[in-house]
Structure 1
């Protein structure tokens, strides 16, 4: 999406359209952070299951119930600050800014 918007910017020669590329960039940043948060919460659930298994405290209901463990908002905010998220999106935002500035 971002590439398509930047191609339109290059074709039309209007640098103001480059700012439209920020919208999908931010949306995908939030989506990536959300899925990273869910992954972390499911990993906590998996680790809790394994711990119960090793302590031999497992029950039949534990075998079929896989639910994320933790506070989604807190985990999401932690995921937003993750090193696995920011390098890609900061680079993308810098590239959008460069395209906007070069075409002026």
Structure 2
């Protein structure tokens, strides 16, 4: 087990990889919201145009699916951000070991991170109003 300090270039590379992972998770989360709104809108328009408005409940199906996926990405993003902050704290305090470099993983259990993400405003503040809009459109059309 080595306790030597890692090189500056290794530290920069490690932080760059963590930043890339965080950026990718944030991008995936934004894509979930974009795809969800696109699919729900398309279903609403397609069903509202047909004589059978009772099929409008189909528009609600993508909402929980994308909510779960979005919460997963947000949880991972938070975990990698925590991992980044822990790494920087260890570096600043002088307790960073060479084993810490290039160990890319979220700081907590992924299931717990996903559970925490469900309570986030970026999840509930997007998917609950979208579900309410589908319910209002169904009430107006039927």
TM-score by length of 2: 0.68
Shift of 1:65: 1.6
**Is residue 85 of structure 2 the alignment partner of residue 36 of structure 1?**
no
Runs of 4+ with deviation above 3 angstroms: none
- Aligned partners of 1:30, 1:100: CA distance in 2, in Å? 23
2:56 alignment partner in structure 1: 18
* Secondary structure of the structure 1 residue equivalent to 2:121: coil
Q: Per-residue displacement from partner, 1:25-51 (whole Å, max 9, x unpaired)?
A: 111111111111001110111111011
Q: More deviation in 58-67 or 37-46?
A: 58-67
List gaps (5 residues or longer) in structure 1.
none
Of structures 1 and 2, the one scoring higher in RCO (CA 8 A, sep 6+) is 1
TM-score by length of 1: 0.90
List gaps (5 residues or longer) in structure 2.
1-38
Tell me the C-alpha RMSD between the 2 structures. Answer: 1.3
* Secondary structure of the structure 1 residue equivalent to 2:116: helix
